[in-house]
Amino acid sequence: MKDLDNKDYGLIRVAAVTPRVYLADPVRNTAEIIRLAEEAATKEASVVVFPELCTTGYTCADLFSQKQLLDAAEKAVADIAGAALPAGMLVAVGAPVRCAGRLYNCAILIKGGKILGIVPKIYLPNHAEFYEARWFESGATVDKEIVYAGQTTRLSVRQLFSVGKAVIGVEICQDLWVPVPPCTYAALAGANLILNLSASNEALLKNDYRKQLVASTAARLFAGYVYCSCGYGESTTDLVWGGSSLICESSALLAENERFLRTSSAIYADVDVERLDTLRAKTPNFKDAVSRRADAYSIVAGGDAFPTDFSRCLLRKVEAHPFVPQGAELAARCKEILDIQVLGLCTRLEHIGCKKAVIGISGGLDSTLALLVSVLAFDKLGLDRKGVIGITMPGFGTSSRTKSNAEVLMEKLGITSRQISIVPSVTQHLGDIGHSLDNHDTTYENAQARERTQILMDVAGQEGGIVVGTGDLSELALGWCTYNGDHMSMYGVNASVPKTLVRALVAFAASEHFDGAQDVLSDIVDTPISPELLPTAADGSIAQVTEDLVGPYELHDFFLYNIMRWGYTPEKVLFLAKKAFAGIYGEDVIAKWLKTFCKRFFSQQFKRSCMPDGPKVGSVSLSPRGDWRMPSDAYSSIWM
Active-site positions read: 52, 121, 173
Residues 246, 280 contacting (CB under 8 angstroms): no
| Residue of 402, 346, 375 lying closest to 513 (CA atoms) | 375
- The number of C-alpha atoms within 13 Å of 61 and in the hemisphere containing its C-beta is 7
Write out the DSSP string of 262-300. SS-EEEEEEEEHHHHHHHHHT-HHHHHT--GGGGG-EEE
Q: What is the Rg, in whole angstroms, of the alpha carbon atoms belonging to the chain?
A: 31
User: Rounded CA gap, 547 and 532, in Å?
Assistant: 13
Residues 235, 199 contacting (CB under 8 angstroms): no
User: Rounded CA gap, 597 and 555, in Å?
Assistant: 9
Residues 520, 527 contacting (CB under 8 angstroms): no
Coil/strand/helix, residue 550: helix
User: Rounded CA gap, 395 and 413, in Å?
Assistant: 24
SS3 content of the chain, % helix, strand, coil (to 5): 40, 20, 40
Beta-ladder partners of 107: 94, 119
Residues 320, 600 contacting (CB under 8 angstroms): no
Write out the DSSP string of 200-254. ----TTHHHHHHHHHHHHHHHHT-EEEEEE--BTB--SS------EEEEETTEEE
Phi, psi of 198 (to 5 degrees): -130, 160
Beta-ladder partners of 146: 153
| Residue of 67, 55, 51 lying closest to 15 (CA atoms) | 51
CA 338 to chain centre: 21
Q: Which amino acid is at 404?
A: S
Residues 604, 478 contacting (CB under 8 angstroms): yes
| Kind and range of the H or E run holding 416 | strand 416-419
Residue 92, Cβ neighbours under 10 Å: how many? Answer: 27
Residues 207, 258 contacting (CB under 8 angstroms): no
Residue 204, Cβ neighbours under 10 Å: how many? Answer: 6
Residues 45, 15 contacting (CB under 8 angstroms): yes
Neighbour-count burial of 42, counting CB atoms closer than 10 A to its CB (0-12 exposed, 13-18 middle, 19+ buried): exposed
Beta-ladder partners of 131: 126
Q: What angle do CA 273, 179, 242 make, to 5 degrees?
A: 70
Torsion of CA 28, 32, 34, 39, to 10 degrees: 160
Beta-ladder partners of 194: 169, 225
User: Rounded CA gap, 345 and 377, in Å?
Assistant: 6
Q: Helix 400-413 and helix 365-381: axis angle, to 10°?
A: 10
Residues 144, 99 contacting (CB under 8 angstroms): yes
